[in-house]
Amino acid sequence: MNKQKMLLLLCAALLAAGGCAAPEQAEGGGQSYLIYYSALNDPEGESAVAAEERALPQGQETIPGLMTLLMQRPQGADLAAPFPSGLKLLDWTLEEGQLHLDLSEQYYSLSGVDLTLADACLTLTFSQLEEVESVYVTVEGHELPYRTIQQLTAGDILLAGGAEEPMALGVELWYLRQNGQALGMERRQIVKTVDQTVVQAILAAWAEGPEEDGLTSCLPEGSQILSVELRNGVCTVDLSPEFIEGLPQDEKTAALMVYAMVNTLCGVDGVEAVQLYVEGQPAPAVGSLPLDRALIPDLTLGSEG
C-alpha cells in the first residue's frame, strides 16, 4: 500500500456501514474485542488502520484492559501500535456516554497525522463498547490546543485508502516569519479531494499562504506548481521558472522560503526528502544552497512567534 494514500482521515461513511463490531465471548471466558493499530506498513492494505481481535483477560476492568491491549505489540507483522513509548493511562471516567481518557505527557509528542492516527485507534477501539458514545482525550488534565476536534465519535472516523470520498487531514505548514529571519509552523485542518494525493493536497494548501498573523507566503508571485509526486521516500516537485526568479536577493531569506516547502512536505509520513525541479530540470542553486540534489528537512530553522 502506498503510504501517501493511507493517512487516517475524518469522515463518517465507513463506520456507518458497520466498521465497529460488538465484543464477543472469547475462549476461556474473557470478552474478545477489536483492537485498532496502525496499518501504514502493510503494503497490501487499503486503510491507515486495521483491527485485530484480542481477548481481555478474565477479571480485568474493561477500560484499562483495552488500553493495555492498545499499547501492546500487535500480532500482525504489518501492524504497529501508534502510541509513543512509555504512554500511560493516568485516569478515566465514563459519564453520559462520554469516555474521558487522561493520558501521560508522552501523548504531547504526537501532532499532525500521527496524532490523528492515535486518536482514531483510541476512538474506534473504545467506541465498540455499547456504553461509549464519544471519546475525549486529555494529557495530564489538559486538552491539546491544536487538536481541531476534542470530542471524537466513531462516526467522525474514516479509514481511507483509495476511498472515493473527501478526506480531512491535520497538517503542519511552514512559512516565513515576517521578519524574514526564521520559519514558523501553522497547524491546520485541510481537505484532500478524491483526485489528489496527500502530497498534492498539502502542497496546494501550503501554496495558498498562511492563515495566522505573523507569517508570510513562501511561494513567489506568479509561481506555479507543475507537478508533485512521491517515490521511494523522495517527493519531487516541479515548479515554474517564476519560483526561482521570484525569490528575494537575500540568500538567507531565499533559503528559508525553500525550506518552508521542504519542511512542510517532509511532515508527511513516508517523505524523507524533497527534490526541486524547474520545468523538468534540476533547480539551480539559490546562493550557496544547491538545489540539484534532494533536501532533507531542517526543523532548527523555526522559531516561536
Q: What would the pLDDT profile of 189-231 be if each residue is shown by its tens digit? A: 787 777 788 889 899 999 999 998 999 999 999 999 999 998 8
pLDDT for 155: 66
Angle, helices 251-265 vs 198-207, to 10°: value is 140
pLDDT for 13: 27
pTM value?
Answer: 0.53
**pLDDT above 80 for 273:** yes
- Taking Cα atoms as reference points, which of 213, 224, 219 lies closest to residue 184? 213
d(CA 294, CA 230): 12
Between 50 and 241, whose confidence is greater?
Answer: 241
Domain boundaries of the chain, sorted by first residue: 3-158, 170-301
Count CB neighbours of 28 within 10 A.
Answer: 9
CB 117 within 8 A of CB 82: yes
Q: What is the pLDDT of residues 19-35, one digit of tens each?
A: 444 455 545 446 889 99
Q: What is the pLDDT of residues 60-107, one digit of tens each?
A: 899 999 999 999 988 887 888 889 989 999 999 999 999 999 999 999
Using pLDDT thresholds of 50, 70 and 90, give the confidence band for residue 175: very high
